[in-house]
Each structure stands twice: as structure tokens, then as C-alpha cells.
């Protein structure tokens, strides 16, 4: 890498990092306002969402549900909706102020993503786990049929790997050479009842995906330099006859010291004092909603 490229990369990472800080503020504020939701993995995946929506995903905030002529993103682990809503709003899909309605009555921002009220950016409901990979594979298969050269992205949780449907979809994608698909696995090691290794160990998850015929790469989802390089690597590995999966290590709760690395913050909201503490750790870079 020459110096100019290095400078460009550094400035890109700084820019993404600034956005991440604001998105993390949005997440804790949204979850605090309704006193419910899932802050832990939302914070852990913030850098991924920001990198995707603000740099790598070819998308249009003038939302077209069909996704024709653009990349598509699907969220399988729908409970981390706060990070998605924040990133969608800050990408211009809907007014920022709408984030204040999260999980409240008459809102388009349902606890888990839904299409019923037509929230721009959402193409299918998710929340009941294990279904998003099948949907993304179907969407990628359709892109192939339509000879649409764009890519389909999907994010899954690690606890979700315990669902059988994931492996049905994994088998299909390799069999049909769905190589216009980049799956990402949020490997934070925690689920509601405790560490994944204690609840139901995934053992060697990399080997499992490889054995299913996928091209497997690994990354650190909370190091933007490492993560952006991994996304670029994943993109370069598409259209080679295999579906691609990025096994992305993250820390649940990343960015808020008392939420880091514990399943305790999987699905609870901060109180007023904890909110103040969290916000003091996250710079308001783009203005709160």
C-alpha cells in the first residue's frame, strides 16, 4: 500500500469511526427511551453496519423494495434492530426523529424489523431466528436469474447457528453456487442464557462452514481497519463459485465499558444513571436525534 492509499484508508476509518460513535449513542438512547430492546449485540455490530451502509453497500435511500440494480442487506438476528434503524435513519431512509418511536405504540420501528407499515430499508420481517439466511439466499438466487450483478449481504447471530434452518440454507447455497452472497456471522460468544459455549457450543464453527462448501474468512468486527479489509476481501471472493462467510468476532456491548463482553446486556435497557454513564463514553459526532 502506498502512502496516499494509506492516508485515504486512515481518513475513511476516521470517518466511519465518527459515525459509529453517534450510532452507539442512538442505540443506548433508543433502548433507554422505551426501557426495552437489545443493546448488547447492537453495540457490538455497530462498526459493521456503519462500514456497510456508509461505504460498501451499493444502496439507495430512496427505497425500492425489489432491490433491483443495487446490493441488498438482510438482518437475520432481528433483535439487534436498534443499530439497523439508526444506520438506516442516518443514511436518509427515514427521518431521524422517528428513532424516538422505537418499540412504542403506533411506530414503524417495531421491536423486531417488520414490513407491515412500510418502513423504508426493511424488506422482510425477522426476529424469529434462523430464517434470514434462507431469505438472503433466495434473494441472491433471484438476482442470478435476473442477471443482476449486485451482491446480497446477510448478518446472522452466533446463537442463531443453533437453528437447523441455517444449515439447510448453507447446504442449498453451496449446492447452487450462490456466489453473489456475503454472509456475516456476529461471533460475540454470548446468547440470552449465557456464553454460547455453555448454552450450546458451536465447537469449530469455521470448520462447519468450510465443510458445508463455503469460502470462510475471519475478521475483528470492532477494529475498523481489520473489518474494512475483511469486507473488501469478502467482496473479492464473490463470483468464484462459492458463497462467502465472514466470521466476525465482536464484543457484545462494545463502546460502553460496563456493557462489554457480558450476556447480561443482551436484552435489557439502561436506567437514567447508566444512560448518562454510557453517553459520557460516546462522543456526539453528528448530533443526537
* Sites of contact with other proteins (CB under 8 A): 65-68, 72, 74, 114-116, 123-128, 130-143, 145-146, 148, 164-165, 168-169, 171-172, 175-176
- For residue 185, give the H/E element and its range: strand 181-187
134/219 with CB nearer other proteins = 134
Q: Which is nearer to other proteins, 123 or 263 (CB)?
A: 123
Nearer to other proteins among residue 164 and residue 287 (C-beta): 164
CB atoms within 10 A of CB 206: 17
| Least Cβ distance, residue 241 to other proteins (angstroms) | 18
**What is d(CA 95, CA 18) in angstroms, rounded to the nearest whole number?**
20
CA 179-67-115 angle, 5° bins: 115
CB of 195 to other proteins, least distance (A): 26
CB 25 within 8 A of CB 288: yes
* Closest to other proteins by CB, 18 or 141: 141
When the beta carbons of 89 and 136 are compared against other proteins, the nearer one is: 136
Smallest gap from residue 117 Cβ to other proteins (A): 11
CB of 289 to other proteins, least distance (A): 27
CB 164 to other proteins: min, Å: 7
What interhelical angle do 3-34 and 272-280 show, nearest 10?
170
Phi, psi of 99 (to 5 degrees): -60, -25
Q: How far is the CB of 138 from other proteins (least distance, A)?
A: 2
Nearest residue to 256 (alpha-carbon basis) of 59, 86, 39? 39
Q: Which is nearer to other proteins, 69 or 194 (CB)?
A: 69
Between 172 and 289, CB nearer to other proteins? 172
Min separation Cβ 156 and other proteins, Å: 12
Residue 144 exposed, middle or buried by CB count within 10 Å (0-12, 13-18, 19+):
middle
Residue 68 or 284 with smaller CB distance to other proteins: 68
Those residues whose C-beta lies under 8 Å from the C-beta of residue 211, and which sit 6 or more positions away, are none
Least separation, in Å, of the C-beta of 118 and other proteins?
10
136-139: long-range contacts, CB 8 A cutoff, minimum separation 24: 136/72, 136/74, 136/76, 136/181, 136/183, 137/169, 137/172, 137/173, 137/178, 137/181, 137/243, 139/67, 139/72, 139/74
Q: Round to whole Å and give the CA distance between 133 and 236.
A: 21
Q: Residue 285: how many CB atoms within 10 A of its CB?
A: 14
Amino acid at each position: 500500500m502506498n502512502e496516499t492509499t494509506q492516508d485515504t484508508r486512515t481518513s475513511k476509518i476516521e470517518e466511519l469511526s465518527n459515525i459509529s460513535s453517534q450510532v452507539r449513542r442512538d442505540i443506548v438512547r433508543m433502548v433507554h427511551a422505551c426501557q426495552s430492546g437489545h443493546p448488547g449485540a447492537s453495540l457490538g455490530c455497530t462498526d459493521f453496519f456503519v462500514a456497510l451502509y456508509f461505504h460498501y453497500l451499493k444502496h439507495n435511500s430512496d427505497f425500492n423494495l425489489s432491490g433491483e440494480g443495487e446490493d441488498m442487506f438482510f438482518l437475520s438476528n432481528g433483535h439487534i434492530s436498534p443499530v439497523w434503524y439508526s444506520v438506516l435513519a442516518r443514511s436518509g431512509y427515514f427521518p431521524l426523529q422517528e428513532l424516538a418511536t422505537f418499540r412504542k405504540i403506533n411506530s414503524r420501528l417495531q421491536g423486531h424489523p417488520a414490513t407491515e407499515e412500510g418502513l423504508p430499508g426493511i424488506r422482510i420481517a425477522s426476529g424469529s431466528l434462523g430464517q434470514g439466511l434462507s431469505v438472503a439466499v433466495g434473494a441472491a438466487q433471484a438476482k442470478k436469474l435476473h442477471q443482476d450483478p449486485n451482491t446480497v449481504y446477510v448478518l446472522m447471530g452466533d446463537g442463531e447457528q443453533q437453528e437447523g434452518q441455517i444449515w439447510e440454507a448453507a447446504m442449498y447455497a453451496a449446492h447452487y453456487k450462490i456466489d453473489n452472497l456475503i454472509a456475516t456471522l456476529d461471533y460475540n460468544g454470548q446468547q440470552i442464557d449465557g456464553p454460547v459455549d455453555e448454552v450450546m457450543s458451536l465447537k469449530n464453527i469455521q470448520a462447519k462452514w468450510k465443510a458445508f462448501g463455503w469460502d470462510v474468512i475471519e475478521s475483528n468486527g470492532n477494529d475498523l481497519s481489520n473489518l474494512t479489509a475483511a469486507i473488501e476481501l469478502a467482496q473479492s471472493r464473490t463470483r468464484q463459485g462459492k458463497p462467502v462467510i465472514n466470521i466476525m468476532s465482536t464484543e457484545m456491548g462494545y463502546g460502553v465499558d460496563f456493557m462489554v463482553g457480558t450476556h447480561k446486556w443482551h436484552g435489557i435497557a439502561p436506567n437514567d444513571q447508566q444512560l448518562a454513564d454510557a453517553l459520557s463514553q460516546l462522543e456526539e459526532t453528528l448530533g443526537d436525534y
